[in-house]
Amino acid sequence: MAVTAALFIGSEIYRGSSYGGGHPLRVPRVSTVMDLARALGWLEGCYRTSPCAKPAALLAFHTAEYIAALKAAEAGEIAAAAMARHHLGTLSNPVFPQIYRRPATGAGGVLLASELLAAGGAVHVPGGGTHHGLPDRANGFCYLNDPVLAIMALRRMGLRVAYVDLDAHHCDGVEFAFAGVPEVLLISVHEEARWPFTGALGVAGGNCVNLPVPAQYNDSEARLVLQEMILPRLQAFGPQVIVLQAGADALREDPLSRLALSNNSYVEALRAIRPMAPRLMLLGGGGYNPWSVARCWTLLWAELSGRAVPDLLPEAAQSVLRALSWGGGGRALPAPALLTTLRDAPREGGIRDELRARMAVLARA
C-alpha cells in the first residue's frame, strides 16, 4: 500500500490511560498530540487508528510466556512468581488497567506503519518508541519493544534499516536485539550516567553507534552531532528506511534528564534525516513533561506533514495546553510560552571540549 503523504497513527486507548498517580507516565501525551493536531486542522485525511497487535505478531521478539503474563496481569489473574519473573508490579513497571492492550496498541501502530511504508513515504506513530522492553520482561516503563518489532517487520521486507534514537535514555532493548546485525545501523545519542547505564561510548557489535553526552547538552552541540556524526553515518550506510525515535526527555523542561535542548533541535534532526531514505517512521518515546512532550511531537508532525506553524497558537490549541496538569506531585506550572506556542526559543550554547573528544573517539571507531 503506497503512502502518498505523511500519515499519523494514533489511538483513543491513550486517553485516560495512566501508569498510576505516582508514576512519571501518569501524564497524558499521545492523546494531547492528537488533540493539538486536530485543533490546528492537521489530521484531516491523514489519521489512521492503530490496531492492537495480536500475540502472534509480538512473538517475533517477545516470549510466549511473557505475553501470557501481560494478558494475565491485565485480567488480574497473574501469580506473584510470574510478576517477579517478568519484572511486573514494580515501581517502574506497575500493573495498570491497560498493561497489555496499551503497549500492544503501540506495537500494532508500528506494524501498520511498516506495511504502509512498503512503497515509501513517512508515518508518525507517537505511541511508539518503547525502546527498553526485553524479550521476557518489562524494563524502564516499557512492556513491549515496538521499535524492535518495527525493525524486524521492515527487515522481513528485505530493507536496510537505520535506527536513530534521540531519547535521553539509551535504547538498551534495541541494541540487545540488533547488535552485530550488519543490515541494521543503530545510532543513539543519550545522556551520560543516566539509567539504564548502558550505551558506553563506542560502536557495539560493529553496528551500534553510542554517543553519551554531558548534562546541559544544548542546541549548538546537538547540531554538531547531527552534522558531523549522525548524517555521515547514515550517508555511509545507505538505509532504505529510517526509524527515528524522538523521545522528548532531552528537552530542558523534562524532569527525568539533565539535558537542555529546545524542540528546534528535534526539528533540525528530522529535517536533515528525512531525505536520507525513501521511507521514514517517526516514533515517540520518553518525555515526562506533558506540555513540552505534546508541543515537540506536534511540531515534528507539522514538519513531517509540511504544515505551517503559527507563531501564536489559535485559542482551540491553547485550550488543549491549558487543560494539562502534572497530575499531582507539586511541580511548578509551565512558563507562559508553553501554553501559547509550539516552537521553543533556541537554546544555543558553547560546544564543550569533552563532547568534541567523544566524537573524535567515534570517528576512529
**Residue range 22-44: average pLDDT?**
97
130-173 pLDDT per residue, tens: 999 999 999 999 999 999 999 999 999 999 999 999 999 999 99
243-282 pLDDT per residue, tens: 999 999 999 999 999 999 999 999 999 999 999 999 999 9
Angle, CA 12 vertex, CA 24 and CA 322 arms, to 5°? 60
Q: Indicate whether 3 pLDDT > 50.
A: no
Q: Indicate whether 214 pLDDT > 60.
A: yes
Inter-CA distances, 217 with 156, 295, 338, 347, 350, Å: 37, 20, 21, 10, 9
Inter-CA distances, 75 with 25, 176, 235, Å: 21, 30, 47
**Residue range 76-91: average pLDDT?**
98
pLDDT band at 4 (very low <50, low <70, confident <90, very high): low
Residue 179: which residues within 8 A CB-CB, separation 6 or more? 186, 204, 205, 207, 208
Domains of the chain, CATH where assigned: 7-53+99-364 (3.40.800.20)
User: pTM of the predicted model, to two decimals?
Assistant: 0.98
Predicted local distance difference test score (pLDDT) of residue 1: 37
Q: Say how many C-beta atoms besides its own lie within 10 A of residue 127's C-beta.
A: 28
CA distance 307 to 305: 6
* C-alpha count within 13 angstroms, C-beta hemisphere, residue 279: 25
Whole-number mean pLDDT of the chain? 97
**Residue range 6-34: average pLDDT?**
97
**Phi and psi (nearest 5°) for 348?**
-80, 170
295-326 pLDDT per residue, tens: 999 999 999 999 999 999 999 999 999 999 99
Q: Indicate whether 2 pLDDT > 80.
A: no
> What percentage of the chain reaches a pLDDT higher than 70?
99
Higher pLDDT: 329 or 60? It is 60
